[in-house]
Amino acid sequence: AQKVTQAQTEISVVEKEDVTLDCVYETRDTTYYLFWYKQPPSGELVFLIRRNSFDEQNEISGRYSWNFQKSTSSFNFTITASQVVDSAVYFCALSEAYKAAGNKLTFGGGTRVLVKP
Amino acid sequence: EAQVTQNPRYLITVTGKKLTVTCSQNMNHEYMSWYRQDPGLGLRQIYYSMNVEVTDKGDVPEGYKVSRKEKRNFPLILESPSPNQTSLYFCASSLRPGGGYEQYFGPGTRLTVT
């Protein structure tokens, strides 16, 4: 069965510090997809990134970067020079490509990031 | 504007009073699903639908029903709500059922059952 673990439940940083969110996943499939979502205090889910299991290139988007390491089953997320607007709950999720449940996302428990001014 | 809408956004109800949370998407998506979010547990899938008239249970289906009579709508029905169904509910849709398609989430419905 697939599983996603986000060991950090809450991280508190001061503005401009970097913060790294850990995500470890388990799956028996060779083809799968990994996602990160942001949930700001307003409650909606904001899609940040999707990665397929065959693409281990790291990705950078502005202040956000992602490190995918298949060898350790990890898909970590770093916010560089954090800002108050980054305060949110961040979810890592996994989707297996060919399961009968179609496009089901298995989510981690989430990491709450609090950025203080 | 492409979107997933849910109604109501907030609902407080009493144990046993049947309720329906509506979900509608305007993107002609085949796949739709419902999740509930609880602290520390992330989001868990309740039910999903591969297409019209095709629905199946997710990880936590007890106490819920769904139907998919039209492609755009996927209502979540709580026939006899109980306090343990107090949660934040999200509807989601994607173009196809396959694992690589991005899911679009609705704004969420916060349900309190007293």
pLDDT in tens, A28-73: 988 899 999 999 999 999 999 999 999 888 888 999 999 999 999 9
Contact B4, B105 (CB under 8 A): yes
Average pLDDT over residues B3-29: 97
Q: Which residues are CB-neighbours of B29 under 8 A, at least 6 positions away?
A: B71, B93, B94, B95, B104
Interchain contact B98–A (C-beta under 8 A): yes
Q: Which residues are CB-neighbours of B72 under 8 A, at least 6 positions away?
A: B24, B25, B26, B28
CA distances from A14 to A18, A60, A91, A117 (A): 9, 22, 21, 6
pLDDT score of A99 more than 80: no
Minimal C-alpha gap between B3 and chain A (Å): 12
Interchain contact B56–A (C-beta under 8 A): yes
Whether A96 and B101 lie within 8 Å, measured CB to CB: no
Interchain contact B102–A (C-beta under 8 A): yes
pLDDT at res. A96? 84
Chain A residues whose beta carbon lies within 8 Å of the beta carbon of residue B92: 105
Q: Report how far Cα B100 is from the mean position of its chain's Cα atoms.
A: 20
Q: Which residues are CB-neighbours of A71 under 8 A, at least 6 positions away?
A: none
**B49-62 confidence digits (pLDDT tens):** 999 999 999 999 99
- Share the mean pLDDT of chain A: 92
| Residue of B40, B41, B94 with shortest CB distance to A103 | B94
Instruction: Please tell me the distance from the alpha carbon of residue A83 to that of residue B7, in angstroms, as a whole number.
Output: 33
Q: Taking chain B, what is the end-to-end CA distance rounded to the nearest angstrom?
A: 36
**B61-111 confidence digits (pLDDT tens):** 999 999 999 999 999 999 999 999 999 999 999 998 877 788 899 999 999
Interchain contact B73–A (C-beta under 8 A): no
Q: In the block, which residue shows the tokens 């979010």?
A: B37
- Would you say how long chain A is, in residues? 117
| Residue of B41, B96, B99 with shortest CB distance to A99 | B99
pLDDT score of A100 more than 90: no
Average pLDDT over residues B14-22: 97
CA distances from A11 to A30, A84, B113 (A): 32, 13, 31
Interchain contact B88–A (C-beta under 8 A): yes
Instruction: Please tell me the distance from the alpha carbon of residue B111 to that of residue B83, in angstroms, as a whole number.
Output: 10
Q: Is the peptide bond before B83 cis (omega within 30 degrees of 0)?
A: no
Whether B45 and A104 lie within 8 Å, measured CB to CB: yes
Evaluated on CA atoms B24, B28, B34, B35, the torsion sign reads: negative
Average pLDDT over residues B26-53: 93
Minimal C-alpha gap between A15 and chain B (Å): 25
Q: In the block, which residue shows the tokens 């996603």?
A: A4
